[in-house]
Structure 1
Amino acid sequence: MDASQTTDPTTAPASPTAPSAPSAPAVSARGLFKTYGRGEAAVQALNGVDVDFAAGQFTAIMGPSGSGKSTLMHCLAGLDTADTGQIVLGGQEITGLGDADLTRLRRDRVGFVFQAFNLVPTLTAEQNILLPLELAGRKPDRAWFDSIVDTLGLKDRLSHKPHELSGGQQQRVAVARALLTRPDVVFGDEPTGNLDSTTGAEVLSLLRRSTREMGQTIIMVTHDPAAASYADRVVLLDDGRLVGEITSPTPDNVLAALAKLGVA
């Protein structure tokens, strides 16, 4: 496939890319609308979004500031609710779930990696990684734990507390915590935003490896074309609409697509 293959973000909405294997998408959305505020102050954050995210694929969501990318991710992850539309995650429709069910969904079936590492400062790296299972009253799969720790290069850092770790090591702990529950999807919200370029590249490489070697589905919001180039696919939003996509993204073709959307 040509590495520069894109759909023109200024013409028509993209058609979702089907996974190579005949399997259901990890996450799909149909007819998503979301408005914040009322009257003249109303802002339509999502305007009829239809999109699929293939299982075992690393997808980046990009667009201008205010395009709806963070709102889309928050709705897909059950952190926010759409006004209308349908979201299916791991074969379960999550639209309309109550607070208790959404809490269980986020705890058991979704992983999160944020720009802020969100580690508990008084806990060791190992305790931070195990925290979601502790809160759920579940025992860890030690073989899976060891595999993740080895893959992320954290074996010699498990007894360290966050202040004893570099920024990159802290984000690796956050990635390990997100992967430990074997979630249907890991959502990343600018996961390298607080890291220097070298450390950010390390973390992005680890996320990409988790799709290649662990079959993990990752959906990441980013503004950085270099970060997006680690993904298998980029979906482009503008004014709350899905307006294009890029397969086999590179920093150059992502930058060119964003330029067409008026992003300098």
Structure 2
Amino acid sequence: MPPAPATETTARIAASTSDVVKIYGSGPTAVRALDGVTVGFEAGRFSAIMGPSGSGKSTLMHCLAGLDEVTSGSVRIGDTDLTKLNDNQLTKLRRERVGFLFQSFNLLPTLTAEQNLLLPLELAGRKPDNQWIDSLVEVLSLQDRMNHRPSELSGGQQQRVALARALITKPDVVFADEPTGNLDSKTGAEVLSFLRQSVRELGQTVVMVTHDPVAASYANRVVVIADGNVAGDIDDPTAEDVLTAISRLGV
């Protein structure tokens, strides 16, 4: 009998760390923000990183995104080890393979929504993929806002433009740092729904840092960080699941 065909048993990993240590400062005042973290985030999923203040969750995201150097260990985007790249290579990787979404939006006030959206392509010297742009604009419901400047947009609309900008280069992964931190609960829920929609309908990979259990419950998976290491891992979380995991940390 011929052997059964091989099957893929593991999901593709979009971003990962292996034994990552991050220390700020030196001597008796040194802070060990990450203490040997090994974790992987699957492609095509919406993952959240959650933990109490000072747990290391933002440091982990900054290291994963190549925004901060690790003290030891390795960080990968796909199969690329970020710790082996020089500054120019790292800048190119962040520009072409990583998207960023922050709570401050970071839209240029003198540019229209469309111009802000296209900016990463202009900086990279790449031609727009009009079909992809049309898909982003439709999924994020921005069709009638493309000629508006940021001051003419609501907070939720500005964050959706920022999300479209993060997705425009078709990055391997989008890192979202407290993306609803400056939004009211209704607008925040809208943005979280669009993040989830970008994963489901556009095949995107999103890794979000949040302190909010309700925001975390929009994700497919929550990685709980405490004292610089992984303290929990929840699939298909509810807000109650996240609250329970955090309460077990004694914070």
Residue by residue over 1:204-240, the C-alpha shift from the partner in whole angstroms, topping out at 9 and shown as x without a partner, is 0000011111111100000000000000000011110
Q: 1:97: how far off?
A: 1.4
Aligned pair partner of 1:230 in 214, 218, 228 = 218
Distance 1:155 1:262 in 2: 46
Indicate the residue corresponding to 2:65 in structure 1: 77
1:104-123 superposed matches below 5 A: 104-123=92-111
* 1:191 corresponds to 2:179: yes
* 1:93 corresponds to 2:72: no
Q: Is the 8 A contact 1:25 1:54 kept in 2?
A: yes
Indicate the residue corresponding to 1:137 in structure 2: 125
1:1-264 superposed matches below 5 A: 22-263=10-251
Residue by residue over 1:179-208, the C-alpha shift from the partner in whole angstroms, topping out at 9 and shown as x without a partner, is 110000000000000000000000000000
User: Relative contact order (alpha carbons < 8 A, sep ≥ 6): 1 or 2 greater?
Assistant: 1
Indicate the residue corresponding to 2:4 in structure 1: none
Range 183-192 or range 92-101, more displaced:
92-101
Tell me the number of residue pairs that the alignment of Structure 1 and Structure 2 aligns. Answer: 244
Cα root mean square deviation, aligned: 1.0
* TM-score of the two chains, using structure 2 as the length reference: 0.95
Q: Is the 8 A contact 1:64 1:262 kept in 2?
A: no
Distance 2:21 2:168 in 1: 32
Q: Identity of aligned pairs, percent?
A: 65
Q: Give 5+ residue unaligned stretches, structure 1.
A: 1-19
Residue by residue over 1:42-88, the C-alpha shift from the partner in whole angstroms, topping out at 9 and shown as x without a partner, is 10000000001011011100111111100000000000010111111
Distance 1:198 1:142 in 2: 31
Indicate the residue corresponding to 2:5 in structure 1: none
Q: 1:40: how far off?
A: 1.3
Q: 1:21: how far off?
A: 6.3
Amino acid of the residue matched to residue 69 of structure 2? T
Q: Is the 8 A contact 1:63 1:261 kept in 2?
A: no
Q: 1:249: how far off?
A: 0.7
Residue by residue over 1:14-63, the C-alpha shift from the partner in whole angstroms, topping out at 9 and shown as x without a partner, is xxxxxx96443111110000000111111000000000101101110011
Q: 1:247: how far off?
A: 1.0
Aligned-partner SS, 1:157: coil
* TM-score of the two chains, using structure 1 as the length reference: 0.91
Distance 1:135 1:28 in 2: 27
Aligned-partner SS, 1:155: coil
Q: Give 5+ residue unaligned stretches, structure 2.
A: 1-7
Q: 1:92: how far off?
A: 1.1
Residue by residue over 1:104-153, the C-alpha shift from the partner in whole angstroms, topping out at 9 and shown as x without a partner, is 11110000000100000000000000000011111110010010001000
Amino acid of the residue matched to residue 32 of structure 2? Q
